Chains A and B, each alone.
Chain A
Amino acid sequence: MDDTPSESGRPATVSRRAFTKGLALGLGATALPTGPAAALDWTAFFQKHFREMSEEEIRRTVERLEREARHRWRKDIRISTTRAMPGVVFGAGVDLSRCIGCRRCVYACVEENNQSRNPQVHWITVLRFRKGEKWSDLANAEKYYEPGRVPEEGFFYLPVQCQLCDNSPCVRVCPTRATWKEPDGIVVVDYNWCIGCRYCMAACPFGARRFNWAEPTIPVDEVNPDTHYLGNRPRPKGVVEKCTLCIHRVRAGRYPACVEACPVGARKFGNLLDPGSEIRYLIEHKRVFRLKEDLNTEPKFYYFFSA
């Protein structure tokens, strides 16, 4: 058995002091919220599921979460709870003939959505394939390509993130309904309700869900203070997170960060219910496909070739 890299240099055996301390702590401080911040922690402990809270409860919860965030990040962080607009179901797409594999979307997403820098969390994965080799089963995907410059001769790229399944396996398996599909089609997670069982990660066919294996770290000046309860507000350790199509932006009528960041305009986005939207135009006029369609998860994330 190997120890984790972060522990290298520490002896594998636990000293007697650590041992007794562990016993005491195990039964006391760590197991139950006690100590100076106790009152705060108990409210957090009994916090209800987002969808079970009244408007008033949501308001008070958001206030407390903002207070906690200010304490933790030394910065004013706004947590919005904007609801889905009626008549909107979001869809997104990528033009594979344009994507150059530069990963600008990946980093824009990290910054926009307060993903942990260490351990590194990326909601978007860009896969690289060799032209002419089989690729649609994703078995030969290369995730860690590191070229001096992109695009590379003889390769093409395929960005993957939450595929916005309409029939989402992650939602189906979650024991606590901590993850669900909003009326506008975005699959979200309540970070205060998720128990961290990771069943949804086993169920997701697109490797879209990320777990906070440790407390997320973000340089304070890089924390994005414009957040949404169901999206990019800072997360604790031990819960699952994923792409929400920048719920805080799209519900305010803006483009997702990845769409804005793409230097070649490969990323598309729009309201699937609006016949005049760009995404609808593409679906109707290009040959589109979706990943792993045989699994019937009905993604609302489309891939197509413009050339």
Chain B
Amino acid sequence: MLSVFRAAAGRVVRGDVRYYAWMVFLLALIGLAISRYVRQLDRGLITTAMRDQVSWGFYIANFTFLVGIAAAAILLVIPAYLYQFRPIREIVLFGEMVAITAVIMCALFIMVDLGQPLRVWHAWPVLGIMNFPSSLFIWDALALLGYLAINVLLVLYALWRLATGREYRLSLIFPLIVLSIPWAVSIHTITAFLYNGLPSRPFWNASILAPRFLASAFCSGPALMLIILQLIRRFSAVEVDNKALFKIAELIAYAMGVNVLLLGAEMFKEFYSGSVHMAPLEYLYFGLRGQGMLQPWIWEATAFNLIAFLIFLVPRLRERPLFLNLGAVLIVLGVYVEKGMGLVVPGFVPDTLGEIYEYWPTVSEGIIAAGIWATGALLFTLMVKFTVPIYTGQIRAERAAERGRR
């Protein structure tokens, strides 16, 4: 089995021109981001546009979006194992790898946001002093670490079975899979609670926040999977059944329906009752006292989500590749704005003393964030490159052939 892994690792460094170009592109982005990050370390977070009024920004927005992506792996797991929906079951492995990548990116986004990153051990078990159970930050860190561990175990187990040419032994792994489902829900719920539990910020302090988080995550995660799976199908020997893709699209339609409904409920409550607590939502959608930088973005996101909802709702549309991809891209972009900047920034606008500070990330923040996305893409590409020949049984087949010749 180890020899199979070694053979697979050997293949990771081999590829065609497009593969090398992709790698160089990602490494260049990462290098650029590192140089910007070094500058940020040197000068402090003044290189960002965050200030006391809006003390979290683009980094935390990306973090929040990515927790949603990580949680979405389960949307593939549920039908795969619980309902024995074969076509999806085959590709769950890739969903789990997306989850692993997303959690690692989450950790990176938190790291670059810290004012004293070297002290991160202060929040670690045993070494530091964890404010548990009081701080939701600690809950979130533990939940994400646990989720990472579960997914790593699931992927390793699957690879091991594939490498030795055996079927999944469900009995062995089933408890872990069952555990992973509520766990995925919990990472996203806890992330929502991290914001939700702050009465100082009425925009977040609404009980609809956690359900809205989940609904939108179940849109963006699977939509991203739709794109990734098609890319894997295009660039490797992995076969992905169209039926699986259509099923995912259908699930997204339901999730988006719920997401839109919850958004409507929130809009109604705030704007009909019209208390001062509607100020952040007003800022986001209509502008407040002449200021509202996020307006075009949030309307764009809303339009994207609604269009994608219609596409995925109608079977005839979602089964056409063009529309399928269009819908997937629209949702990823839409939720990226809605659950990223659109969620974090209005929490701080107006601030607790009524001031409006319009936050927009600096070039430096943008480059560092791009670097983390590139790191994620690099990690995922390498994992896929490593996994595919094992997954397709290519390596085993070649070895068997070799042995036969001898």
| Residues of A participating in the B interface, judged by any CB pair closer than 8 Å | 1-4, 6-7, 12, 14, 18-19, 21-23, 25-26, 30-31, 33, 45, 49, 52, 119, 125, 127, 137-141, 143, 160, 169, 172-178, 193-199, 201-207, 209-215, 236-240, 295
Contacts and interface: CB of A to CB of B under 8 A. Distances in A.
B360 A1 contact: yes
B21 interface: no
A295 B199 CA distance: 7
A175 B138 contact: yes
Interface in B110-133: 110, 113-120, 122-123, 128-131
Contact of B198 (A21, A139, A176, A202): A202
B352 interface: yes
B135 A141 contact: no
B341 to A, nearest CB: 12
Nearest to B39: A22
Contacts of B200: 169, 202-205, 295
A52 B129 CA distance: 10
Nearest to B365: A1
A22 B367 CA distance: 14
Central interface residue in A49, A127, A140, A201, by most chain B CB within 10 Å: A201
B274 interface: no
Nearest to B353: A207
A105 to B, nearest CB: 16
B134 interface: yes
A178 B129 CA distance: 9
B351 A207 contact: yes
B46 interface: yes
Given A14-B35, A169-B199, 9 more contacts: A19-B32, A19-B35, A141-B354, A173-B135, A173-B137, A176-B128, A177-B129, A193-B129, A207-B353
A4 B362 contact: yes
Contacts of B113: 197-198
Contacts of A213: 44-46, 48, 50-51
A93 to B, nearest CB: 19
Nearest to A121: B52
Given A143-B355, A198-B56, A239 B116 contact: yes
Interface string B276-289: 10010000000000
Interface residues of B, number: 68
Interface of B: 31-32, 34-39, 41-53, 55-56, 110, 113-120, 122-123, 128-131, 134-138, 141, 194-195, 197-201, 276, 279, 347-348, 350-355, 360-366
A238 B116 contact: yes
Nearest to B36: A14
A199 B60 CA distance: 11
A215 B41 CA distance: 11
A294 B210 CA distance: 23
A215 B39 CA distance: 13
A3 B364 contact: yes
Nearest to A196: B115
Nearest to B45: A213
A120 B334 CA distance: 37
A13 B46 CA distance: 18
A193 B114 CA distance: 13
Contact of A175 (B38, B123, B198): B123
Contacts of A127: 353-354
A143 B53 CA distance: 12
Contacts, number: 196
Given A19-B31, A195-B122, A139 B47 contact: no
A25 B37 CA distance: 10
Given A6-B46, A25-B38, A193 B352 contact: no
A178 B36 contact: no
A196 B31 CA distance: 25
A236 B45 CA distance: 12
Given A207-B351, A207-B353, A213-B50, A175 B130 contact: yes
A205 B137 contact: no
A12 B46 contact: no
Contacts of B119: 176, 193-196
Contacts of B363: 1-3, 12
Contact of A169 (B44, B47, B198): B198
A209 B361 CA distance: 22
Contacts of A22: 31, 34-39
Contact of A4 (B49, B118, B276, B351): B49
A211 B113 CA distance: 13
A302 B36 CA distance: 45
B383 to A, nearest CB: 23
Contacts of B276: 137, 139
15 contacts: A1-B360, A2-B362, A2-B363, A4-B46, A26-B37, A33-B118, A49-B129, A138-B353, A141-B355, A173-B198, A176-B122, A196-B45, A196-B114, A237-B115, A240-B115
B347 A23 contact: no
A175 B35 contact: no
A45 B31 contact: no
Nearest to A138: B354
Central interface residue in A19, A33, A127, by most chain B CB within 10 Å: A19
A23 B49 CA distance: 24
Nearest 6 pairs of A and B residues by beta carbon? A196-B115, A22-B35, A238-B115, A205-B200, A175-B137, A214-B46
B55 A211 contact: yes
B64 to A, nearest CB: 13
Contacts of A6: 46
A23 B35 contact: yes
A237 B55 CA distance: 15
Contact of B55 (A26, A160, A198): A198
B51 A195 contact: no
Nearest to B37: A26
A173 B136 contact: yes
Contacts of B360: 1-2
Nearest to A197: B114
Given A22-B39, A23-B34, A195 B44 contact: no
A215 B45 CA distance: 10
A14 B123 CA distance: 34
B45 A199 contact: no
A204 B136 CA distance: 15
